[in-house]
A and B are shown apart, each in its own frame.
Chain A
Amino acid sequence: MIYAIILLGAIGIIFGIILGVVNKKLSVKTDPREEAIIDALPGANCGACGFAGCAACGAAIFNGEAPIDACPVGGPACAEAIAAILGVEASSAEPSIARVACNGSPDNAKTLYDYTGAKSCIVAKTSFNGQKMCDFSCFGFGSCAAACPFEAIDMVNGLPVVNRKKCTSCGICVSTCPQTLMHLVPRKQHVFVNCSNLIKGKAVMAACKVGCIKCKKCEKTCEFDAIHVTDVARIDYDKCTNCQACVAVCPTKCITVDTFTDDFSKAPKAEDTEPAGCSSCASRDTCQSKE
């Protein structure tokens, strides 16, 4: 017994010494900043950045092959930390969040037939494009919720609801949804078109209470040229000021205001938003941009 202990100890020590010596002799000079960047990354190795892992991502950032905000999970805090290490200014890395471009809960969207198959959106997609009458509707079986590695999606009333606190905008739900209803949008964006249908207005009305019927009222109302109805109403997030004028005019209420908050106690109302020329406050005395 004592021999066994001594022997294993001896083998360990001998190899340890050899490795130590070799490590000194063959040490590769790595920049300590690269190590620091890898330490600054979340270390989840989720692969959302497109690299093999956090170490590969860190190396790519250090070598300038990836932007400093390459890690979508770490978000702006991570990008700032890396910027501090590299001595460059953090770009205005805009945090984003996943959103569902459909409001077709069982109450709103009509079903076409009784689906009794596996409770999976991917399976449902193969059965005559799902059970909903609208071909662009959320099936509501929660494949996105199951795929989310951060458990940030809950199924509420047959629709996925993204938890703002948990969502890291890794984009896994975006690639999972067979209907491509999930989108990554800027976190500060509060107004969002909750519809993805590309069919004609009349057919939409027959299928869903809250579908976009392409009436273009939002487009006419928007003062910032931020919303356009091409195949469906789409918001240009660079131009949108969250003034919510389009929300007010939308006859089907398919444009909604995100009521989930993380950085403010409540969703901003029209009068609370910054007066950047928004129509709703222009008439009031408080508007600073009024000339």
Chain B
Amino acid sequence: MEVFGGLLTLLLTSMIVKNVVLSQFLGMCPFLGVSKKTENAIGMGMAVLVVLTISAALAWILYTFVLVPLELTFLKTIAFIIVIASLVQLVEMVLKKFSPGLYKSLGIFLPLITTNCAVLGVALLNIQNGYNFLETLFYSIGAALGFLIVLVIFSSIREKLELTNVPKAFKGLPIALITASVMSVAFMGFIGVL
């Protein structure tokens, strides 16, 4: 029970307190790029959830069972990039086959998950924090869920902003960036909760 409690804490911490986007500022590109429609935001969040969780797990396995015994830990960044890039290709193929609509609406952002620093960042953070496999899984899922939640909230706000009377100079990205900063401040308020 104690172990489970610890894992749950880890999940919530990575999801809300140490949110990848709003507290650690990773993955800003899809955060601003795919947040115009809630539908797309959910799709992107799901794709990142899958890619991030599997890639973090695979990266952990690769690191612990291959890189450490061979004393090649300095290769971790480039090895993780290979894992992530391959997984993104895989997700792209699966989406193209089973969900062409989502595949189309994500467009260029799907291959861009490859360069989404949140994915690589979480994989590297797991190693840096010395998590075991279960902790890695929970931390990664938490981070991805945090990404998803923030993306959905942000896209909902942006959909509302479309209809509001925003001063012309702030229309589009400027007001989105201001909103993001306010959201970030709000999420900073969670620090110390867990």
Q: How far is the CA of A4 from the CA of B78 in the complex (A)?
A: 11
Check B96 against A26 for contact (C-beta < 8 Å): yes
Please give me the residue from chain A that is nearest to B100 by CB atom. A28
| Secondary structure of the A contact surface, majority rule | helix
Check B96 against A7 for contact (C-beta < 8 Å): no
Min CB distance, B152 to chain A, in Å?
Answer: 22
Q: Is B194 an interface residue (CB 8 A)?
A: no
Q: Is A19 an interface residue (CB 8 A)?
A: yes
The residues in A between 213 and 265 inclusive whose CB is less than 8 angstroms from any CB of B are: none
Min CB distance, A66 to chain B, in Å?
Answer: 15
Known: A3-B70, A11-B62, A52-B107. A26 touches B93 (CB 8 A): yes
Proximity string of chain B (36-60) to chain A, C-beta cutoff 8 Å, 1 when within and 0 when not: 0000000000000000000000000
- Which residues from chain B contact A26 at a C-beta distance below 8 Å? 93-94, 96-97
Q: Is A50 an interface residue (CB 8 A)?
A: no
Check A19 against B86 for contact (C-beta < 8 Å): yes
**How large, as a class, is the contact surface on chain A?**
10 to 19
Q: Is B75 an interface residue (CB 8 A)?
A: yes
Please give me the residue from chain A that is nearest to B105 by CB atom. A52
Check B70 against A15 for contact (C-beta < 8 Å): no
Please give me the residue from chain A that is nearest to B78 by CB atom. A8
Check B93 against A23 for contact (C-beta < 8 Å): yes
Check A8 against B90 for contact (C-beta < 8 Å): no
Q: Is B83 an interface residue (CB 8 A)?
A: yes
Check A8 against B83 for contact (C-beta < 8 Å): no
A-B contact pairs, 24 of them (CB 8 A): A7-B66, A7-B72, A7-B75, A7-B79, A8-B78, A11-B62, A11-B82, A11-B83, A12-B82, A15-B82, A15-B83, A19-B86, A19-B90, A22-B90, A22-B93, A26-B93, A26-B94, A27-B97, A28-B100, A52-B107, A53-B107, A56-B104, A56-B107, A59-B104
Q: Besides the contacts A18-B86, A26-B97, what 12 more A-B pairs have beta carbons closer than 8 Å?
A: A4-B75, A7-B66, A7-B67, A8-B78, A11-B79, A11-B83, A19-B86, A19-B90, A27-B97, A28-B100, A52-B107, A59-B104
Interface residues of B (CB under 8 A from A): 62, 66-67, 70, 72, 75, 78-79, 82-83, 86, 89-90, 93-94, 96-97, 100, 104, 107-108
Interface residues of A (CB under 8 A from B): 3-4, 7-8, 11-12, 15-16, 18-19, 22-23, 26-28, 52-53, 56, 59
